[in-house]
Structure 1
């Protein structure tokens, strides 16, 4: 057994917790039975998410970052280690807005728009950087257009960070990537990266990480129509 699970307490069966009486106006006995069956699965899903989070936190030390990458930021040049500020953890997102793109990826944009609203809370716990390969002026112009207030935007146009940690081809398309870094005793290490993609996708599903980082999809997953099969966000409607 993984040491991360050694102290897991004995939990009540999810089916026992999900044995609820009728709750809402007009619901049938058939609906309540099906809803309680679903609730039991939702409880198990929550528990699985927590087990995965415990296992993630228990990862051994990752690789030492090969160089202190230098970026262009809104307040001037800075290095990866300086992005941490007062924190010991840094989360980075590779924004698909490379120099070959006239406009950024719509999927990245809807995700970043959601995170912008959460950023004041996120920054209480960790540092967070949004990194794109385009020149900084181009990235910031879109930030202003979109009305983002809290995202910290950086250009990696002069380094290999995106290639090293997002497998991007400098002459080809961008790749999205979430990476987490730690700083201990002045040493910066890679802690975790979202590594799900097309090669790990199940048949009939878009490649995505788990848990899904996009609030949009979380909301749609609660609806009868779900995510749909041919709808994607746009930059404007």
Structure 2
């Protein structure tokens, strides 16, 4: 037990918990309102044709819907020269295998997209044991148009566009989510994107850690403790070798 933490009676705990519940309910209702505002964003029609390399052959963005009307894409950090995926992106992706089936039965397709060539993606996917759809945008403008891959010129300028603003991204790949809708005519619309810490809502491990006494217990960022799930027990050398975090 942490000797610095206050110890109280059961009644004190109950009184404090009731007061906290009021704030938690307000936080929940605020989250519901944010979700409504997300759904109310204007949609942008996708007029450009994007091609992706998949284990089933080349597909367009429209093909990735697989007969459903909604599509969530996770922009996974794995560049053309990388030999493995980002630790943080892998951490998030570990949460997806059991969820995709439920999404698909609620008219939502889920696809992970990386800039790396398909052969590297498939090798890393096999190593990690993941079964969700994962495709390559190599040779396409998709990653650049949705602001998760950056040219050498953009990196040199220290003013690449990421998370809705110009900034020094520091690395050629970043992460995020983008959401799309396909109507009855087959037209595709971009409806939502989030980047940076906006991705945290998709990491259920954090929801569990946030109710524990020690919380996330991170000195600086998630790579203080997160590894690829097949590397727990190995000595940590100070960060993600792939993404530099």
- Whether the aligned pair in 2 keeps the contact of 1:180 and 1:191 (CA below 8 Å) is yes
Q: Does 1:234 align with 2:227?
A: yes
Of residues 144, 152, 174, the one that matches 2:126 is 144
CA gap of 1:141–1:210, structure 2 versus 1, over 3 A, is closer
Per-residue CA shift, 1:24-77, capped at 9, x if unaligned?
xx96111111111111111111111111111212222x2221412000011111
Structure 2 matches for 1:187-226, cutoff 5 A? 187-195=187-195, 197=196, 208-209=197-198, 212-226=201-215
Structure 2 matches for 1:76-91, cutoff 5 A? 76-91=57-72
CA distance in 2, matches of 1:84, 1:179: 13
SS in 2 for 1:209: helix
- Whether the aligned pair in 2 keeps the contact of 1:64 and 1:188 (CA below 8 Å) is yes
Q: Does 1:46 align with 2:28?
A: yes
Q: Which residue of 1 aligns with 2:166?
A: none
Q: Which residue of 2 aligns with 1:95?
A: 76
Q: Which residue of 1 aligns with 2:145?
A: 164
Q: CA deviation at 1:229?
A: 2.8
CA gap of 1:210–1:38, structure 2 versus 1, over 3 A, is farther
CA distance in 2, matches of 1:84, 1:105: 25
SS in 1 for 2:191: strand
Normalised by the length of structure 1, the TM-score is 0.79
Q: CA deviation at 1:211?
A: 6.5
Structure 2: state its 5+ residue gaps.
Answer: 1-7, 153-170, 233-245
CA gap of 1:167–1:141, structure 2 versus 1, over 3 A, is closer
CA distance in 1, matches of 2:73, 2:201: 16
CA distance in 2, matches of 1:77, 1:211: 31
Q: CA deviation at 1:228?
A: 1.9
- Whether the aligned pair in 1 keeps the contact of 2:53 and 2:136 (CA below 8 Å) is yes
CA gap of 1:38–1:120, structure 2 versus 1, over 3 A, is same
Normalised by the length of structure 2, the TM-score is 0.76
Q: Which residue of 2 aligns with 1:22?
A: none
Structure 1: state its 5+ residue gaps.
Answer: 1-25, 198-207
Q: CA deviation at 1:173?
A: 2.0
